[in-house]
Amino acid sequence: MSRSWIAPLIAAAVAAMAGAAAARAPTERVYRLDSVARFSGAQPTWDYLTFDARRSWLFIGRRKAGITVFDVRAKKIVGRIAKSEGANIAALVPEVGSGYTANDDGTTTTFDLATLKTLKRLKLGDGADAAFYEPATKQLAVTMGDTQQLTFIDAASAAVTGHVHLDSKEIEGVAPAGGGLLYVAERDRNRVAKVDARSHALLAEWDVPNCEQPTGMAFDAASARLFVGCKGERPVLSVIDVSTGRVVAQPQIGRGNDTVRFDPDTKRVFTANGVEANIVIFDQLSPDRYGLFQALTTRPIARTLALDPATKKLYTVTAEGMVDLDRPMNRKAAPFYPNVYFDNTFVLLEYGLHPKLAAPQDVD
């Protein structure tokens, strides 16, 4: 019996399978620089970025210059928060239409989220580093490393509701985890604290093996995984199963991490690493498995990060700097970490997804 019909059938089947696979395969897209916005100002300094998805506004903590609000679609400054000098961050509370800053003199500046009008500036303590909103209890947790505590504020009234003492002088990122729970990075102790915002109680503290200087934090509620950026000599992203406190993954990241973001839509983890000038991005393959998606080159000291959840664009800021030998040097961050930045060099970098570049062809 002739089998001449087999070869054409196999060829047709292979072609059909290839066509189906091509139809299923998504277009490969990677992050690239879209735009640069320059801001004026003498000797810029900065910290956290906060994105308002309702208005596409980016709140930039510029420390001595206060909070600058930038419209990322119109690409222009829409306002500055009055009486926010010394602000490291703006924490937004859309439910009550307000925002709160954390100012380095231990105050918070409250403002109207729609008009950006300042309401009042309140004294909380000796120093405030950052503020994070906890939606289940409708409170803000303000990190105050100088006095080793979290201070809680009612989001509607701005009244102080309680305190939690932590044996840390370098209280860093805070990740709300739902139900009133917070996870807090204790950078100087290489630990993570678990805090109950309802009762204002410290529930637990975990050592994080092979994690020096935990700083940036993010949380995935669906998998109960906490992401911790560790900025020490061996920088890694520590992934913690919060049901047990066990580290389940620890992929390498760049030096100088200050911010970690998680996108629940794409299951992607972003780490901004200023010393190494990169954003290292991972795909969550499963709760305990993480694959490198991209290591994106940025600019030196671009260490903080915001994500637009709708467009998936990334935002980071930096400036041109140097080490001034007449000023104190920050050798803990890096051997030659800038301690002064040049006037009018502060920039906002916007990164968007673009088709992946074709592989270069060999040339004989």
- DSSP per-residue codes, 35-60: EEEEE--SS-----EEEETTTTEEEE
Q: What pLDDT, on the 0 to 100 scale, is given for residue 219?
A: 98
Domain assignment present for 127 = yes
Contacts of 231 (CB under 8 A, 6+ apart): 212, 213, 214, 215, 255, 256, 257, 258, 273
- Give the whole-angstrom CA distance, residue 67 versus residue 52: 14
Q: How many domains does the chain have?
A: 1
Domain assignment present for 26 = no
Residues (pLDDT < 50) of the chain are 1-25
Number of H helices, E strands in the chain: 1, 30
Per-residue pLDDT of 253-276, as tens digits, reads: 999 999 999 999 999 999 999 999
Domain assignment present for 71 = yes
Cβ-contact 116, 69 below 8 angstroms? yes
Domain assignment present for 330 = no
Backbone angles phi, psi at 10, to 5 degrees: -65, -45
- Give the whole-angstrom CA distance, residue 122 versus residue 110: 8
Domain assignment of residue 207, given as a range: 44-321
Domain assignment present for 362 = no
Q: What pLDDT, on the 0 to 100 scale, is given for residue 331?
A: 87
Cβ-contact 253, 237 below 8 angstroms? yes
What's the first-to-final CA gap in the chain, in angstroms? Answer: 49
pTM, two decimals, is 0.90
Q: What pLDDT, on the 0 to 100 scale, is given for residue 354?
A: 97
- Give the whole-angstrom CA distance, residue 10 versus residue 35: 50
- Give the whole-angstrom CA distance, residue 135 versus residue 172: 19
Domain assignment present for 329 = no
Domain CATH for 129? 2.130.10.10
Domain assignment present for 327 = no
State which amino acid sits at residue 64: K
Q: The dihedral of CA 119, 125, 131, 133: what is its sign?
A: negative
Rg (CA), the chain: 23
Query: What share of residues in the chain are helix, strand, coil (percent, to 5)?
Result: 5, 50, 45
Contacts of 3 (CB under 8 A, 6+ apart): none
Q: What angle do CA 152, 158, 160 make, to 5 degrees?
A: 35
Domain assignment present for 359 = no
